[in-house]
């Protein structure tokens, strides 16, 4: 057996593979083979098959598909419900970016110091992150309920009149966003904290010597050196938020709202994934749903490419 390692070292004749290399090649394919075939079966093929389906009129029962060419894509633009769903999704994404990301940065900054029981406090913020969205949304149906809801109860202390979070078309989306912030703020907070911990303290010490104030330190040191983390968080949040689905589905199903399951009052919370789910699984329009899915996929790909490109160019890593 030891001859294997002997004939491996000089490699005089490269055309003849050593026994060991051959074995490694075979075992290499076997070791990664299960996972690779799984990925091709459950992720690669469905992606292509989905594009194929999107060219057909096809029901989820799967009978008699009719070829439509690009018609499904053309009707996307004329479908006011789809345009509305796209608008709602963008609204949701912007809401999360504008409120959730800065809030989590603020929390991370506040947490980034020596304090007693600080780890215990962090748990409170992190607890919603690890829990099941479906159950959380059920609880929030109750929290957001107009007459007896917890949120209106607290807003009452501030003299704010009862808001119909789940039944008023103007307030449904803000309600959905508030719930998502509560659920997700701890996630970004922990990421920001990790980023803050990576900033070398020498910069702050130097700034102290120069007599820089806290605000100046934040804008001149913290924010620039935190940019890789901030950047990562912003883009993953965008990508993640575009996929919003189960929050709305649970929050609004069976309540006020029209024919679209989970879309909320006047379809105010009809999102891209929700609409495609309804099309494919409730209304037997699998082909049309697949066209929407591909549209969503393109959006996600664009943001992913932006992320990869800009990460290389702009963000300065110091490791």
Partner 1 sequence: MKFNGITMKRIHVGSSLVYVILLAGGIFMLMPFVWMISSSLKDMESIFVFPPQWIPQKVIIKNYIELFTNSYYNFGRYYLNTAIVVIFRITGMFIFCSMAAYGFARLEFPFKNVLFLLVLATLMQPIQVSMVPLYFEMKFFRWVNTFMALVIPHSLGCFGGAFSIFLLRQYFMAIPKDLEDAAFIDGCNIPRTFISIMLPQVKTAYAALAIFNFQSAWNDFVWPLIVINNPKRYVVSLGISQFLSDRAALTNWPLLMASSVLALLPIIVVFLVFQKYFMRNLVMSGLK
Measured from the CB atom, is 44 or 102 closer to partner 1?
44
Give yes or no for a contact between 273 and 181, defined as CB atoms under 8 angstroms apart.
Answer: no
| Eight-class DSSP state of 5 | H
Least distance from partner 1 to the Cβ atom of residue 186, Å: 8
Half-sphere exposure of 176 (CA within 13 A, CB side): 34
Measured from the CB atom, is 221 or 300 closer to partner 1?
300
Least distance from partner 1 to the Cβ atom of residue 39, Å: 6
Backbone φ, ψ for residue 145 (5° rounding) = -65, 145
| Eight-class DSSP state of 162 | P
d(CA 265, CA 256): 6
Least distance from partner 1 to the Cβ atom of residue 141, Å: 8
Contacts of 225 (CB under 8 A, 6+ apart): 199, 203, 318
Least distance from partner 1 to the Cβ atom of residue 309, Å: 14
Least distance from partner 1 to the Cβ atom of residue 85, Å: 13
The total of other beta-carbon atoms located within 10 Å of residue 258's CB is 12
Measured from the CB atom, is 203 or 245 closer to partner 1?
245
Q: 189: which 2 tokens?
A: 């907070």
Measured from the CB atom, is 144 or 268 closer to partner 1?
144
Measured from the CB atom, is 95 or 262 closer to partner 1?
262
Q: 48: which 2 tokens?
A: 């292509």
């Amino acid at each position: 057996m030891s001859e294997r390692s002997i004939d491996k070292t000089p490699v005089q004749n490269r055309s003849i593979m050593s026994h060991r290399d051959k074995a490694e090649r075979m075992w290499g394919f076997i070791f990664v083979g299960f996972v690779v075939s799984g990925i091709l079966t459950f992720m690669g093929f469905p992606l292509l098959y989905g594009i194929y389906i999107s060219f057909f009129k096809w029901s989820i029962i799967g009978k008699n598909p009719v070829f439509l060419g690009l018609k499904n894509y053309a009707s996307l633009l004329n479908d006011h419900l789809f345009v509305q769903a796209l608008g709602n999704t963008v609204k949701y994404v912007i809401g999360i970016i504008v409120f959730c990301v800065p809030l989590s940065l603020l929390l991370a900054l506040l947490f980034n110091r020596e304090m007693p029981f600080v780890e215990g406090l962090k748990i409170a913020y992190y607890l919603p992150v690890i829990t099941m969205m479906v159950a959380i949304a059920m609880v929030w149906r109750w929290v957001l309920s107009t007459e007896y809801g917890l949120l209106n109860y607290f807003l009452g202390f501030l003299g704010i009149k009862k808001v119909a979070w789940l039944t008023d078309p103007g307030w449904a989306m803000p309600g959905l966003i508030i719930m998502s912030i509560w659920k997700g703020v701890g996630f970004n907070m922990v990421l920001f904290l990790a980023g803050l911990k990576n900033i070398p303290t020498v910069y702050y010490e130097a700034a102290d010597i120069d007599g820089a104030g806290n605000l100046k330190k934040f804008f001149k040191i913290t924010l620039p050196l935190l940019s890789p983390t901030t950047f990562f968080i912003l883009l993953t949040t965008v990508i993640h938020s575009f996929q919003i689905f189960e929050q709305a589905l649970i929050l609004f199903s069976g309540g006020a709202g029209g024919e679209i399951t989970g879309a909320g009052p006047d379809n105010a919370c009809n999102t891209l994934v929700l609409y495609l789910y309804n099309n494919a699984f409730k209304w037997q329009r699998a082909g049309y749903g697949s066209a929407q899915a591909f549209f969503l996929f393109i959006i996600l790909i664009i943001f992913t490419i932006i992320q990869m490109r800009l990460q290389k160019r702009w963000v300065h890593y110091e490791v």
